[in-house]
Amino acid sequence: MSSMVKAHPVSQQRKSSLVESVAAGMITRSAMVLTSSLHTREGQSHHVSGMYENTYQLKPDQIPKSCQLREIVQEVLTEHLSGLTYDQSLGVMTKKLAEQMKQRAKELALSRYKYVAMVVLGPVTRTSASLASRCVWNPTYDTFGEFTYTNHSIMATGVLYGLYVE
């Protein structure tokens, strides 16, 4: 009979970051930094947010399957993007897609899992792009799913990571 005793409720907010690339011929080399809104959190900056009882649990009850996560990404992308043509307003759609992916992942209702959803969306042109990702994690409990959706004018890649909180 173990129960979790929380001193302060842990807030889990949606975090979205939107980056737009604009071709600017005059800039030779520059860097722009976007950060999460970590600096605006109110209250104490103490790491220990509450006292937890021991669960004596070494493994997660259920590990998300990589195919499950991939299915979520596939469904969200095809549902929202099929039939659309690329234009500037799709920036908002990108945010919505990431949010949707995260919502669906939460619906899997797996305990002690954190999710990170990322979407990269661009037009189908002669431009080439390369996306790489690497993680430092526990490969037995953490996983990810990815899917690329293309139609005649839009190319979108979505990745959904699921990480266990030990």
Partner 1 sequence: MDDFQSAEETAFVVDEVTNIIKEAVEGAIGGNGYQHNKVNQWTSNVVEQCLNQLTKLGKPFKYIVTCVIMQKNGAGLHTASSCFWDNSTDGSCTVRWENKTMFCIVSVFGLAI
Among 1, 53, 127, 152, binds partner 1 (CB under 8 A): 127
Q: Does 134 bind partner 1 (CB under 8 A)?
A: yes
To the nearest 10°, report the CA torsion of 53, 59, 60, 61: -100
| Segment interacting with partner 1, rule: CB under 8 A, options 52-60, 63-71, 75-83, 132-140 | 132-140
Q: Tell which positions 65-94 bind partner 1, by CB under 8 A.
A: 88, 90-91, 94
Q: Residue 123 pairs with which residues in a beta bridge?
A: 154
Q: Does 52 bind partner 1 (CB under 8 A)?
A: no
Which residues have C-beta within 8 Å of that of residue 72, sequence separation ≥ 6?
Answer: 101, 104, 105, 145, 160
Q: How far is the CB of 28 from partner 1 (least distance, A)?
A: 6
| Segment interacting with partner 1, rule: CB under 8 A, options 52-60, 61-69, 71-79, 155-163 | 155-163
Strand, coil or helix: 143: strand
Q: Does 54 bind partner 1 (CB under 8 A)?
A: no
Q: Does 7 bind partner 1 (CB under 8 A)?
A: no
Which residues have C-beta within 8 Å of that of residue 125, sequence separation ≥ 6?
Answer: none
Q: Does 126 bind partner 1 (CB under 8 A)?
A: yes
CA distances from 59 to 62, 97, 108, 112, 115 (A): 8, 31, 18, 10, 17
Q: Does 98 bind partner 1 (CB under 8 A)?
A: yes
